[in-house]
Chain A
């Protein structure tokens, strides 16, 4: 049942075709809640990447000894273990970034994207393929978070990664917490628009 995709294709698949935020519409909570700056998106992206890769590898390694009926609780406990690890590492070495992300690091345990990848991919494939799929999904999530953070930080504060680029603040609205909903909605509509235009151009 092994996948015939190369590792490169698996990574690209996670970033573009099956982007967790914009394509699969999963793990929206952090996308709305803390995507106010690029840095926040990057930090949470790292945490998710770590948890996704290690959980995928763990499940792929033990897929033959996990009884199918208890597979979901097994996935949950595996993810919880790795989340505990990254939670403690971040709290110890990056306390400032950790404080900004608040409860969201612990909530990675309930992100639908990770469980879904374990169920759809890692429990059938080899450790190697699962590793690359985990990298792709993690990077896809990080890319989505950073894209949102980029738009919100640029439009809201006029800065990128804390550096002043515009010199003024175009729409302070975008850094307010609830604007996450509007920002995600507008960006999805924007991607849909590109797709529609692209299809029309292809047909003509």
Chain B
């Protein structure tokens, strides 16, 4: 129990760190605005309009790039003189923290410096939701379709395949992340990405197969047959490649792979529910089997378009 509590405490501290980096007494709140090129700052007291609305008084840069100043177009102070909206020339990369310095904000002329960052936990959840619904790998990225159409005839098969796949993809994506960050990148072996990632996937599949066979034969009997199919699924190799491209960290990688696996499970389950019903329907002979399944998948894809633009955090 103690160890678990300690681990949880550690995780909470790690996750809360970027959030707790607050500013001085002058600034009450700061966040990214609704549009992707805005930062909204709330002052603790009434601010001087002449100072705040002059873009020359600002210095804004991304946390890891202090040399590159971001171009500020305009600053608008609200009527109660407490909330300022900073509009930038180009969209901001909300994934990284931004450091903002305002000159002459107080009488003495000293500068106020503070950091704007998204709440980290919400950001992680948004990666999960995005992979699950908004960028569902099957319906909006068109990956893993061979296995999708092959195993979505029965609900039981769909569940088995979905769970096996989620398990394998989380393990293999984390291993791939580790290999990429600590072996491929430091030694400049980026060109080996494809070979290493597919090798790791085969290795994971083989390992899960062996371990499951010995440890839990009942589970193996239920899910063993799907293990072979996992490797023929494009998603399993697409996720490590996306992780490597976007330079995700450990938590982000975990969330993305979980979302990809869960999204695949969701898609399979939805599809199998429809296909079980379709067996009772009177379908024209030319459309029987695979063609009608494609049409149904197209309708699901249309429905999933509705999730685009969904933002929770």
Residues of A within 8 A of B (CB): 25-29, 32-33, 72-73, 76-77, 79-81, 83-84, 87-88, 103, 106-107, 109-112, 115, 177-182, 184-186, 188-190, 192-193, 196
Contacts and interface: CB of A to CB of B under 8 A. Distances in A.
A87 B241 CA distance: 13
B217 interface: no
What are the 9 tightest A-B residue pairs by CB atom distance, in nearest-first order?
A181-B298, A185-B294, A33-B142, A178-B301, A28-B145, A189-B291, A188-B291, A182-B298, A185-B295
Contact of B146 (A76, A112, A177, A196): A112
26 contacts: A25-B149, A25-B290, A28-B149, A29-B145, A29-B146, A33-B143, A73-B206, A76-B202, A84-B191, A87-B194, A106-B241, A107-B237, A109-B194, A109-B237, A110-B233, A110-B234, A110-B236, A177-B301, A178-B139, A180-B298, A181-B298, A185-B287, A185-B297, A188-B294, A189-B291, A192-B286
Nearest to A179: B298
Interface string B285-303: 1111011111101100110
Interface of B: 139-146, 149, 191-195, 198-199, 202, 206, 231-234, 236-238, 241-242, 285-288, 290-295, 297-298, 301-302, 305
Contacts of B292: 185
Given A29-B145, A103-B238, A181 B233 contact: no
Nearest to B141: A33
- Tell me which of A73, A178, A196 has the highest count of chain B C-beta atoms within 10 A of its own C-beta: A178
Contacts of A180: 142, 298
A158 B141 CA distance: 25
B239 to A, nearest CB: 11
B285 A196 contact: yes
Contacts of A25: 146, 149, 290
A110 B294 contact: no
Contacts of A112: 146, 232
Contacts of A84: 191-195
B144 A29 contact: yes
B198 A80 contact: yes
Contacts of B232: 110, 112, 115
Contacts of A73: 199, 202, 206
Contacts of B192: 84
A28 B142 CA distance: 9
A181 B296 CA distance: 8
A80 B234 contact: no
A181 B295 contact: yes
Given A77-B195, A110-B232, 17 more contacts: A27-B146, A29-B143, A29-B234, A32-B142, A33-B143, A73-B202, A76-B198, A76-B199, A80-B199, A106-B193, A110-B233, A177-B301, A178-B305, A185-B295, A189-B286, A189-B287, A196-B286
A109 B144 CA distance: 12
Given A73-B202, A80-B198, A110-B233, A185 B291 contact: yes
A181 B297 contact: yes
- Tell me which of B141, B293, B297, B302 has the highest count of chain A C-beta atoms within 10 A of its own C-beta: B297
A107 B297 CA distance: 21
B291 A186 contact: yes
A181 B192 CA distance: 33
A31 B143 CA distance: 10
